[in-house]
């Protein structure tokens, strides 16, 4: 990563990261990451304890189940670390085209999410092996009921991530309008169909006019940029028709100056 005198960090994958002056930006990242860290630590310790109990069991099926628990914990730590490393407060990561600017998600979490399919398959295999070789009175309700549900969930999440292309989460602004691509939600509309955008809680909602489709939204973690700044930028172009023609390289300069 290289940082220029103008405060722009050039990233090898995510385009250009700009620290925006003047604006207060998102105040929620620290609370969000603290909550994730505490929850991850508590669940991680519980799973490690459960995994150690399984590994101490002499049955091979139980040992495989214990190993799969540690694989799951490792992947969870990987995903949490990748999320925490993306600083969003007063930072936007933007790719600039001749007539477009694109804000993408944090693609670093895709690899561990795909590997969840492996962890889920190991959990299901270990559970099946344990049931077939371990006496029923040694199998807990957790092993019989909760473990298979976790295994199926991890497998489904991992398989779905296999078909997720890098850049599947993105917000594109052009002189003509907005294109928001988020799985299970999204919006493609002209500027005349958009009233602006606001952050409420953990989600940014793009307000559509009566003539447009239903409002679309994205979670703060969906895109690797400050959600407040993105909402303010969308609102600026939605309410300032004279500035829309500049969208492209001039938007980068506007972000650097904080003039929106």
Per residue in 131-149, pLDDT tens? 888 888 788 877 778 888 9
- Same domain assignment for residues 181 and 53: no
Q: Is residue 79's pLDDT more than 80?
A: yes
What does the pLDDT read at residue 116? 92
39 falls in which pLDDT band (50, 70, 90)? low
The total domain count for the chain is 2
Q: Is pLDDT above 80 for 113?
A: yes
Secondary structure of the chain: what % helix, strand, coil (to 5)?
Answer: 50, 20, 30
181 CB contacts (<8 Å, ≥6 apart)? 168, 169, 170, 171, 172
Of 253, 203, 260, nearest in space to 229 by CA? 260
Least confident range from 7-11, 35-39, 185-189, 198-202: namely 7-11
- Whether residue 37 has pLDDT greater than 90: no
User: What is the Cα–Cα distance from 101 to 46, expressed in whole angstroms?
Assistant: 44
Instruction: Band the pLDDT of 2: cuts 50, 70, 90.
Output: very low
Is the distance from CB of 17 to CB of 91 less than 8 angstroms?
A: yes
Are the C-beta atoms of 193 and 208 separated by less than 8 Å?
yes
- Considering the domain architecture, whether residues 37 and 112 belong to the same structural domain is answered as yes
- In order of 4, 11, 101, 174, the CA distances from 251 in angstroms are 18, 18, 8, 10
Q: Are residues 41 and 145 in the same domain?
A: yes
**Residue 108 pLDDT:** 72
What is the per-residue pLDDT for 167? 62
Same domain, 149 and 38: yes
Q: What is the mean pLDDT of residues 21-28?
A: 82
Rounded average pLDDT over 91-112: 87
Res 174 pLDDT > 90: yes
Mean pLDDT of 43-54: 85
Q: What is the mean pLDDT of residues 95-108?
A: 88
- In sequence order, which residues have a C-beta less than 8 Å from that of residue 65 and are 6 or more positions away? 54, 123, 126, 127, 129, 130, 143, 147
pLDDT at residue 127 is higher than 70? yes
Which residue in the block uniquely carries the two structure tokens 């960090």?
Answer: 9
Last residue of a domain, one of 122, 141, 162: 162
Domain enclosing residue 176, as ranges: 1-26+94-105+167-260
The kind and range of the H/E element at 181 are strand 177-182
**Are residue 17 and residue 112 in the same domain, yes or no?**
no
Asked if residue 248 and residue 189 are part of one domain, the reply reads yes
Tell which of 162, 180, 198 closes a domain: 162
Same structural domain, 191 and 112? no
Say yes or no: 54 and 123 in one domain: yes
User: Which of the pair, 198 or 1, is modelled with greater confidence?
Assistant: 198
Task: Give the pLDDT confidence score for residue 191 in this predicted structure.
Answer: 93
Supply the mean pLDDT for the chain.
83
User: Is the pLDDT higher at 162 or at 214?
Assistant: 162
pLDDT at 33: 57
Asked if residue 120 and residue 36 are part of one domain, the reply reads yes
Is residue 260 pLDDT above 80, yes or no?
yes
pLDDT recorded at residue 82: 77
- Clarify whether residues 148 and 98 are in a common domain: no
Do residues 218 and 179 share a domain?
Answer: yes
Residue 212: predicted pLDDT: 55
Is the pTM higher than 0.75? The answer reads: no
3 and 39 share a domain?
no
SS3 165: coil
Single out the residue in 119, 141, 162 at which a domain terminates. Answer: 162
Sorted by sequence, the CB contacts under 8 Å of residue 155 that are 6+ apart come out as: 116, 117, 120, 121, 124
Q: How many CA atoms lie within 13 A of 80 on its CB side?
A: 18
Q: Which residues pair with 92 in a beta bridge?
A: 18
pLDDT score recorded for residue 129: 92
């Amino acid at each position: 990563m290289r940082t220029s005198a103008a405060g722009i960090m050039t990233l090898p994958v995510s385009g250009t990261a700009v620290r925006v002056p003047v604006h207060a930006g998102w105040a929620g990242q620290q609370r969000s990451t603290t909550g994730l860290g505490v929850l991850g630590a508590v669940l991680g310790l519980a799973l490690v304890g459960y995994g150690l109990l399984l590994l101490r069991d002499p049955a091979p099926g139980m040992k495989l189940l214990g190993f799969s628990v540690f694989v799951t914990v490792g992947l969870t730590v990987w995903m949490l670390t990748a999320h925490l490393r993306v600083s969003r407060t007063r930072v936007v990561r933007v790719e600039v085209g001749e007539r477009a600017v694109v804000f993408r998600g944090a693609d670093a979490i895709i690899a561990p999410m795909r590997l969840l399919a492996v962890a889920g398959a190991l959990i299901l295999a270990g559970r099946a092996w344990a049931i077939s070789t371990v006496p029923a009175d040694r199998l807990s309700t957790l092993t019989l009921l909760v473990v298979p549900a976790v295994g199926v969930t991890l497998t489904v999440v991992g398989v779905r991530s296999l078909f997720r292309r890098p850049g599947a989460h993105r917000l594109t602004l052009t002189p003509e309008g907005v294109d928001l691509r988020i799985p299970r939600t999204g919006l493609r509309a002209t500027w005349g169909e958009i009233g602006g955008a606001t952050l409420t809680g953990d989600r940014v909602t793009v307000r559509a006019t009566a003539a447009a489709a239903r409002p679309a939204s994205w979670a703060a973690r969906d895109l690797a940029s400050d959600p407040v700044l993105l909402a303010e930028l969308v609102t600026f172009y939605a309410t300032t028709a004279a500035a829309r023609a500049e969208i492209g390289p001039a938007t980068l300069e506007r972000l650097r100056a904080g003039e929106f």
